[in-house]
Chains A and B, each alone.
Chain A
Amino acid sequence: MSKDILSAKADFPILKQSVNDQPLVYLDNAATTQKPQVVIDVLVDYYTRLNANIHRGNHSLAVQATEAYEGARRKVAGYLNAERNHEVIFTRGTTESINLLAYTYGDKFVQAGDEVIVTQLEHHSNYVPWQQMCLRRGAIFRVLPLTDRGELDLALFERMLNAKTRLVAVNQVSNSLGTVNPVAEIIRLAHAYEVPVLVDAAQSVQHLAHDVRSLDADFYVFSGHKMYGPMGIGIFYGKEKWLEALPPFLSGGEMIETVTPEKVTFNVLPFKFEAGTPSVAQAIGLGAAVDYLQQFDQLELQKYEEDLLAYGFSLLAEIPDLVIYGSPAHRSGVLPFNVNGIQHYDMGVLLDSMGIAVRTGQHCTQPIMDALHINGTVRASLALYNNREDLDKLASGIRRVIKMLKR
């Protein structure tokens, strides 16, 4: 019997507090999600009872901490349906995961005149590392533009692929518009040219059903803190054949096998990519977040969030002068909008005064803002603990702000 979604809110202690003397309505989940008590407990328990540096230690604490850390890796691998546990590398977050690939793949596989394709829908963290890598390697940085609806044009993408394409980097869900991108199709098209694809799952892993094997993703990256886990931990998933072929990213302890003044041999996967002491508590915390998420029926959860998002859009659509950005066929988690004549910053500050947390600005996606010819949006974003009442409060809050500012 799976857990009831409507009971989830009670699992998150931070949501019980008041902000500016109003009960908190947290709608900034695309920036970071809150943590359930079980994840917080695991962090406290780790430092209370288990803390030791992992691997190679032969005392009891070190052995237990190592087991907990590797247990978390197995949980994440299971969650992603990875074929092998060692295809799951712990990093600090999505940004580090993308940089890991940009540096290692760039060094080994990208030459002057080669091409890398990203999209205009990317967060800066899946845009700038590729742009910089192309500058270092003398490669051509190509950007697939978004359509008027805020989607990607697959036919155009197919035309951009050629024998010089070395890599495609695309997000599964846009953090700014919530567009769900056809990554399975993108991967299929890229693979026809034997081009690997990195999927930035930072905004999808907590909302959509995922399966790296059926998706056939070569690389799949995300952050723990956006899926109810701790900050400071992220995942770099790569197919074994690629991880074997890539050189190490950071060097130091843990990632080596033998060291002499003349040469080193590198450790096996996954340790080859985990130099130094990893974020052990955070990794175990992420494992706890996976356990927490798996109590829910995944399809039911996805349906609940889709219905909630549709409800939110129906409320926003009734507000005069409110503009919703993008009209993709499939959207997840994000309500991007502005009210004509009202600065997004003002909307954010005044909603905050009513205890409603949203994000305003460019959301690290200047290329999207340029395409829309705006300097920012208000973004409300959902998580599993949000409910219709939260969105009712958002809508009445927006109406209140309009009254305050439009006189």
Chain B
Amino acid sequence: MPGIQEIQKDLSDDFSLLVNWEEKYEYLIEMGMDMPAMKPQNKVDKNLVKGCQSSVWFDVQCCDGIMVFEADSDSLVVKGMVAMLHKLLNNQPAKDVLETELSVFEELGLWRHISSQRSNGLTAMVAHLKAAAVDCLAKED
């Protein structure tokens, strides 16, 4: 399993091949469509991320300090962002999730595009996953 930094580098390389915003979004949406489906029974209120206007669900499990999660969104653009987070952080040690800075969004300029809109909340999603990582580490202690 490659580490978060390595995946960030790969994602960044993939996106650098895309020439314009339309293509970047197209790629992002495809990633969302390719993400493993979330079980419908996990799409419940307790898994909703607060602070997103479109609905975003994360069901995070912690197993021996490794974070495993399913996620979904009713917005396909947001689902693409969710899929990126899934690619980056699923099956990773909680310690790494907590400590690694996710620079790839900044690099791609997607922060500027998406997270600044209050209707989204990439920030809220990342914060949600980091909080889950804290819980996961606490359990391990």
Contact = CB atoms under 8 A, between A and B. Distances in A.
Contact of A343 (B26, B33, B74): B74
Contacts of A407: 33
Contacts of A360: 119
Interface in B7-24: 20-22, 24
Interface stretch (B39-47, B75-83, B96-104, B129-137): B75-83
B22 A345 contact: no
Contact of A349 (B26, B33, B74, B114): B114
Interface in A327-370: 342-343, 345-346, 349-350, 352-354, 360-361
Interface residues of A, number: 17
Q: Most chain-A Cβ atoms within 10 A of its Cβ — which of B20, B22, B26?
A: B22
Contact of B75 (A21, A343, A400, A404): A343
Contact of A405 (B22, B76, B113): B76
B75 A405 contact: no
B119 A345 contact: yes
B119 A343 contact: no
B29 interface: yes
A345 B33 CA distance: 17
Nearest to A343: B75
Interface in B94-121: 113-114, 117, 119-120
A400 B22 contact: yes
Contacts, number: 49
Given A343-B74, A343-B75, A349 B25 contact: yes
Contact of A404 (B29, B54, B114): B29
A405 B76 CA distance: 7
B123 interface: no
Contact of B113 (A342, A349, A354): A349
Given A361-B119, A404-B29, A405-B29, A346 B75 contact: yes
Contacts of A361: 53, 119
A400 B29 CA distance: 14
A265 B2 CA distance: 77
Nearest to B109: A20
A345 B78 contact: yes
Interface in B23-60: 24-26, 29, 33, 53-54
Contacts of B24: 353
A345 B25 contact: no
Interface in A347-398: 349-350, 352-354, 360-361
Contacts of A354: 21-22
Given A345-B77, A346-B75, A405-B76, A353 B119 contact: no
A346 B21 contact: no
A349 B77 contact: yes
A350 B25 contact: yes
B22 to A, nearest CB: 5
Nearest to B79: A346
B20 A21 contact: yes
A295 to B, nearest CB: 36
Nearest to A397: B22
B51 to A, nearest CB: 14
A400 B120 CA distance: 22
B22 A353 contact: yes
A342 B25 CA distance: 15
A343 B54 contact: yes
Contacts of B29: 404-405
A353 B76 contact: no
Nearest to A341: B76
A343 B29 CA distance: 13
B129 to A, nearest CB: 21
B122 to A, nearest CB: 12
Nearest to B114: A349
A345 B20 contact: no
Interface centre among B25, B74, B114 (most CB of A within 10 A): B25
B29 to A, nearest CB: 6
Q: Which of B24, B29, B76 has the most CB of A within 10 A?
A: B76
Interface of B: 20-22, 24-26, 29, 33, 53-54, 74-78, 113-114, 117, 119-120
Given A346-B75, A346-B77, A405-B29, 9 more contacts: A20-B20, A21-B21, A343-B74, A343-B76, A345-B75, A349-B113, A354-B22, A361-B119, A400-B22
Interface of A: 20-21, 342-343, 345-346, 349-350, 352-354, 360-361, 400, 404-405, 407
22 contacts: A20-B21, A21-B20, A21-B21, A343-B74, A343-B76, A343-B77, A345-B53, A345-B78, A346-B75, A346-B76, A349-B114, A349-B117, A352-B113, A353-B24, A354-B21, A354-B22, A361-B53, A400-B22, A404-B25, A404-B29, A405-B29, A407-B33
**10 tightest A-B contacts by CB?**
A353-B21, A343-B75, A20-B21, A346-B77, A349-B77, A345-B75, A346-B76, A346-B75, A345-B54, A353-B22
